[in-house]
Structure 1
């Protein structure tokens, strides 16, 4: 065991111009063998004293947000500083050596864990991470991790939503009167934060409190979704399909394309929803999701109304007087029908005619009304929705 310690120390120790391998081996031997260092003992000579951990959180990146499972995945590391009273030495006795790097498994370290972790509770750090120790016994430990934390994600304002998620760290092995976690010099550091194509960090906060006699440090991160992709690939196509749907009422029934056009627009909505399904939140409550259902409902309404219109368009019986009275207020052109005998073919013989409404006139009038009513309803609903989202 001592030989292994010597080898690791020689490889990992940072040397100055006056330091030698013998100095490093002597220092490691004195600290961990001669002094009988015990990593299981809290490193304060008076066990009634409080050990303070100074912790800074370096946020490296936002890996992803899972709305369905309410999970935030981030990458970063904790810069943790504490004083180990059993790891002090006089540099003059060891060739001026003022600091060493030792594998984290050789020293006492706090049992820091992610309190609101999404997976099972586990201690931070791994065997490849070293700790740096200086002559005064101050230890610097920087465990690098991919953190999966729980987060209450509200997609109501998707894709213009903001999410505030907490990343809480706690020492599960010690009470708050034994080990206390405090904010370090910088708190939460975003200088190394890498750009993400979907999420942008807009603010951070830090909270310190005591949880069931355990000291806890909570980093609050507020992120904003970048809406550009969703606007170009989802929102704009939905609005354009809604506009195309309204023009069903512009096509005349005699064209023979009215029903086919309305069904095509409806199917376009359905197929588009299937295509973009993977990009939409998997949870309910999105205002934009309700807007898409509204547009799909308008398309369904258009198909049903078109089918009924075509049913009446080819009727030859007289239009009821009530419907004729409704149409009386519009500007219309009427078809002239003569009452003379078919044998009287000369135009001069036509001395009496009357104007009569037909079902074709009524359907044309209904298309005019439905177009403008649907246009105003869709426009108003769209404005209200996007005012809320923005």
Structure 2
């Protein structure tokens, strides 16, 4: 071979060290993205020979003689595994395991942290007064911001992953929470601006008494001014209940996400 000559030693040993560039593909498990680790398997075999004709062995394990740092992956280990063969008629085969770990700092600061912040910002919609006129526009802005981050994360994930990433499940849950928040916000605004002539339903009276921590007296529906005021109180009570419920859901989902990540890391 003119490109890869043989080196013949004085003791009769012949060395041939061909160089080439190989491209290989790995099946990715993106469950814990971006805190995932991947193991790529490289098979080294002589396809046209059996072990009677040719055997492959390594004097030492594989090593990196020249490695360029990658901004996305860290090489954790490079391991050689010999595949035992039952008889000499089989092909000689070895496996090289390349273990990689994703660098997660960039995605953590630019994706995870903003999404968690948006999850808590969504709770503020239940604190914004209905009479301000900004309640609905606020929750829609948070919803659109979350939709943008979902698009960003979708662009980072490969379409060949065998499992659904946890971050995708978390984002879908937050999107569902935000959507329900929009519907509840519309409901609260309608209650707040409801006509004073309409009576307050019994279930809303009960909810208002619970939120006010007073179960002894019913809401007074005597005068028109009282009814307008009481409809406002009902809207505030619904907001307060939603704030408690959604805070519990968001905190639980965030804690579950952090627990799963920490469990995988350590």
Question: TM-score over 0.5 for the alignment?
Answer: yes
**Cα distance between partner residues in 1 of 2:158 and 2:120:** 25
1:169 aligned onto 2:44: yes
How many residue pairs get matched?
A: 251
**Cα distance between partner residues in 2 of 1:196 and 1:361:** 58
* Equivalent residue, structure 1, for 2:208: 327
* Equivalent residue, structure 2, for 1:380: 252
Q: Which moved more, 1:355-364 or 1:171-180?
A: 355-364
| Misfit runs of 4+, over 6 Å | 332-339, 354-357
TM-score of the two chains, using structure 1 as the length reference? 0.59
| Pairing of 1:53-92 with structure 2 (within 5 A) | none
The one of 85, 90, 97 aligned to 1:213: 90
* Equivalent residue, structure 2, for 1:237: 114
Higher RCO, Cα 8 Å, sep 6+: 2
Give the drift of 1:140. 2.4
**Cα distance between partner residues in 1 of 2:108 and 2:126:** 27
Distance 1:338 1:382, change over 3 A: closer
Q: Which moved more, 1:207-216 or 1:306-315?
A: 207-216
TM-score of the two chains, using structure 2 as the length reference? 0.84
Distance 1:263 1:374, change over 3 A: same
Give the drift of 1:159. 0.6
Structure with more of its chain in helix, by fraction: 2
* Equivalent residue, structure 2, for 1:278: 155
Structure with more of its chain in strand, by fraction: 1
| Pairing of 1:172-187 with structure 2 (within 5 A) | 172-184=47-59, 186-187=60-61
Give the drift of 1:336. 9.0
**Cα distance between partner residues in 1 of 2:28 and 2:20:** 22
SS in 2 for 1:164: strand
Give the drift of 1:133. 2.0
Any stretches of 5+ residues in structure 1 without a counterpart?
A: 1-104, 106-126, 340-353
* Equivalent residue, structure 2, for 1:366: 238
| 8 A contact 2:207–2:237 mirrored in 1 | no
Rg (Cα) greater in structure? 1
* Equivalent residue, structure 2, for 1:299: 178
The C-alpha deviation readout for 1:15-58, integer Å capped at 9, x for no partner, is xxxxxxxxxxxxxxxxxxxxxxxxxxxxxxxxxxxxxxxxxxxx
Any stretches of 5+ residues in structure 2 without a counterpart?
A: none
* Equivalent residue, structure 2, for 1:288: 167
Distance 1:296 1:322, change over 3 A: closer
**Cα distance between partner residues in 2 of 1:161 and 1:238:** 19
The one of 75, 78, 86 aligned to 1:204: 78
